[in-house]
Amino acid sequence: MTLPYPANTGPGNQGTDKLTVPAGAIVVGANYKYGVDPGSMLDPGSRRVTAYDVGAGCTVASGLTVNAQYDYVLSNSDRPETAATGSPDDKAHVIVLRTVLAF
């Protein structure tokens, strides 16, 4: 990424200073989320969801980043299990792979 006016130049001068991101920069992150829905008079039974996320991203080249993320989601409910609807409790494993190209 080129700065519009590098520190040692003004708008009338041509500068050669550039802001670059070195290849191989790695970012790692984690997240925890918890939510509760108490239900309502028409749809009784409280519902809870818990999500755990971990991910990493690596700058392959200036303007090109690849990311990988894993999410584990667990939902629990006080609602009854019925033959028609099955269990209201559930869990999920989600894997997200993405490439970000900035230009």
- Under the banding of pLDDT at 50, 70 and 90, the label for residue 23 is low
For residue 60, pLDDT beyond 80: yes
pLDDT at 1 > cutoff 50? no
The answer to whether position 17 is within a domain reads no
The first and second tokens of residue 42, run together, are 């028409």
Digit-coded pLDDT (tens) for 61-94: 888 999 999 999 999 887 777 777 777 788 999 9
Domain annotation covers residue 49: yes
> How many domains are there within the chain?
1
pLDDT of 26 strictly over 90:
no
- Domain membership of residue 92 (yes or no) is yes
Instruction: State the residue range of the domain holding 81.
Output: 26-101
Number of Cβ atoms within 10 Å of the Cβ of 6:
15
pTM of the predicted model as reported, rounded to 2 decimal places? 0.63
64 in any annotated domain: yes
Which residues are CB-contacts of 55 (< 8 A; sequence separation ≥ 6)?
28, 29, 30, 67, 68, 69, 70, 96
